[in-house]
Amino acid sequence: MTKPAELSEALSVAAGEAFATLGLDAGLGAMRRSDRPDLADFQCNGAMAAAKKLGKNPREIADAIVAALRASDIVASADVAGPGFINVKLSAAALSSRAQQVADDARAGAASVASPRRVVIDFGGWNVAKEMHIGHLRSTVIGDSLQRLFRFLGDSVTSDVHLGDWGLQMGQLINEVKLEQPDLPYFDAGFTGPYPETSPVTMDDLGRLYPLASGKSKADEARRNEDRQATQELQSGRPGYRALWRHFCDVTRVGLERECASLGVTFNLWKGESDAEPFIPALVEDLKARGIAELDAGAWIVRVARESDKKEMPPIILVNRDGAIGYHGSDLGTIIDRKQSIDPQLTLYVVDQRQALHFEQVFRASDRAGLMPESTLEHLGFGTVNGADGKPYKTRDGGVLKLHEFIAQADATALSRMTEAELGADVSEAERADIAHKVAVAAIKFSDLSNVRTTNYIFDLDRFVSFEGKTGPYLLYAAVRIKSLARRAAGEGVTPGPISVELDAERALVLQFDAFNDALRGAYDKRMPHILCDHAYLLAQAFSSFYAAAPVLIESDPAKKASRLALALATLKQLEIVLGLIGIAIPERM
């Protein structure tokens, strides 16, 4: 086995080998960061578990392991404490050489995955004609962080925004526009075109018409039938409806692209539910022929329940009784589309936890139909964003907060915080606005991603825009401070030199560098960006203790000065990378 680059790993391997020599499981050698950094860097509790198994005294086993560890050149000291805890301190030479590796590596010590995969990440998922609101913000922010992480680790990622552009809402809107503007050519079945190039509705119109139409549709059965009819006609290609629907999509997309640019989020594909449509007829025929699709009260369904199910698992509806394709059908069609164009080995759906059942049904149906195996399809759910009252976040008047208003609010709060903290006082107004926006985006993304993905959280703009505490702005500020140190050093002609780890604060900083891979792997395997946030925060904190204990530019010993500068630059590199994976852009100065 080649020697692992990470000290934590190398140490676990060394301890594991010592356990193996005693005829024990090498896994018992797992080392973790010590809770008592004053006593040790790492600790291992394996001797206690081993002793239980063998009916031996744990201290005896620990003594044997410690003796073996002392022979390792990365270990400065190894001791047994209490009933059989193994405490290890690493050698300064090992820490120095690890720090040097991180400093010299463009990826700041980050490994890549052994076998890269083709991965599709389905996120965003906004709906045409509906204002983008804070619920879709979570999907966007989490999905973007995951696409950055998976790409960074070497996978080939295709992100798809998967717009909601094909359901009953489209029929509802068509009918609502018809009521307001009945003379438009889109509704004249005899019209032969061409249809007008400019949209008869703006995004504001759509934002107003959407709730109006869906309210009427819910309240009135006759209207609902008309809406179903319009949806079915749209889907089967009625030219006027298609032309009007195109306008809905285009108008919505302009707004979405603006929000995405402002958040720094990109997608490889701007596809939607409608793009699944061409794949459905053949799928339905095939599933009918194989007896997988069944006719049930006029609809084509696929049963997905299993005997082992503990909860009710309703069938999916492939084609409803009006011949229209709903949410299930479009997700299945999309799976075929992706299979044919990308052939992904893994597909991640970053969608509200409340859709868990939907995805379970779709994945089972995909498996049953032989489209893509269930094991390659994963729903990554997330909790809701709540207001101080613990209920889903709303505006003051109880409405759904529009995303661009929300961003504008965050920008304004960031700007006033900067003024309070006397930041950005000596730059132009345009640059200050740009910095404030970066602070706002950092606040929004970090506050979202630093929570465990599956939990709900309370959004508190004032707290999240603070430059103190575990916040995005604190981390931005930490990175900007190192950037400014780097500039001053360059100005004074100080260059980084060989790293020699001496002080406790330096040791702690390097141990944090060393933990980067674990954080990356944890976030990647669990699809949990909060692990990246934790790493970024601990790194910034370790740097701040280091910088307090080991000032750089006022140090008189040139070798120490150069070593400390190298540590600072390595911190900056790792911090920039991890903030980049969270989707946070760092200004040059503040």
457 DSSP β-pair partners: 385
d(CA 570, CA 105): 9
Of residues 276 and 414, the one with the C-beta less far from ligand ARG: 276
> Would you say 260 or 515 has its CB closer to ligand ARG?
260
Secondary structure E strands in 205-307:
293-296, 299-302
In sequence order, the 6+-apart residues with CB closer than 8 A to the CB of 454 are 353, 381, 382, 383
162 binds ligand ARG (CB under 6 A): yes
Choice between 162 and 453, CB closer to ligand ARG: 162
* CB-based burial, 285-317: b 16+ in 10 Å, e otherwise: eebeeeebbeeeeebbbbbbeeeeeeeeeebbb
CB of 447 to ligand ARG, least distance (A): 22
DSSP letter assigned to residue 194: P
Binding to ligand ARG by residue 331, rule CB under 6 A?
A: yes
Residue nearer to ligand ARG on the CB measure, 126 or 187? 126
438 sits near ligand ARG (criterion: CB under 6 A): no
Residue 528 makes contact with ligand ARG by CB under 6 A: no
**Residue closer to ligand ARG (CB basis): 46 or 125:** 125
Measured between alpha carbons, how far is residue 478 from residues 444, 469, 492, 543, 588 in Å?
A: 17, 12, 21, 8, 12
d(CA 147, CA 135): 19
Cα(229)–Cα(227) distance, integer angstroms = 5
In this complex, which beta carbon is closest to ligand ARG, that of residue 8 or of residue 376? 376
Site string for ligand ARG, 89-128 (x = CB under 6 A): ---------------------------------x--x-x-
CB of 132 to ligand ARG, least distance (A): 10
Binding-site size for ligand ARG (CB under 6 A) equals 8
Structure tokens at 471: 């916040």
Out of 141, 304, 351, 441, point to the residue binding ligand ARG (CB under 6 A): 351
Binding of ligand ARG by 226 (CB under 6 A)? no
Smallest distance from the beta carbon of 335 to ligand ARG, in angstroms? 9
Q: Please count the CA atoms within 13 angstroms of the CA of 101 that sit on its side-chain side.
A: 18
Minimum CB–partner distance for residue 406 and ligand ARG (Å): 17
- Site for ligand ARG contains 267 (CB under 6 A): no
Q: What span, in angstroms and rounded, lies between the C-alpha atoms of 23 and 1? A: 19
Smaller CB separation from ligand ARG, 269 or 452: 269
- In angstroms, give the least distance from the CB of 130 to ligand ARG: 8
Rg (CA), the chain: 29
Own/partner contacts of 417-426, CB < 8 Å, gap of 24 or more, are: 417/465, 417/466, 417/467, 417/473, 418/590, 421/467, 423/467, 423/477, 423/590, 424/589, 424/590
208: Cβ contacts below 8 Å, ≥ 6 apart: none
Question: Tokens 């620990």 label which residue?
Answer: 62
**Would you count residue 328 as binding ligand ARG (CB under 6 A)?**
no
Determine which helix (DSSP H) or strand (DSSP E) holds 472, and give its type and residue range: helix 472-491
- Minimum CB separation of residue 268 from ligand ARG in Å reads 15
Minimum gap (Å) between residue 164 Cβ and ligand ARG: 3
CB-nearer residue toward ligand ARG: 351 or 415: 351
In degrees to the nearest 10, what's the CA dihedral of 237, 243, 245, 247?
160
d(CA 563, CA 550): 11
Cα–Cα distance list, 537 to 149, 212, 456 (Å): 17, 45, 21
Residue 164 binds ligand ARG (CB under 6 A): yes
CB of 86 to ligand ARG, least distance (A): 48
Q: Which is nearer to ligand ARG, 132 or 441 (CB)?
A: 132
**Least distance CB 357 / ligand ARG (angstroms):** 12
Q: Is residue 349 part of the contact set for ligand ARG (CB under 6 A)?
A: yes
Chain residues binding ligand ARG by CB under 6 A are: 122, 125, 127, 162, 164, 331, 349, 351
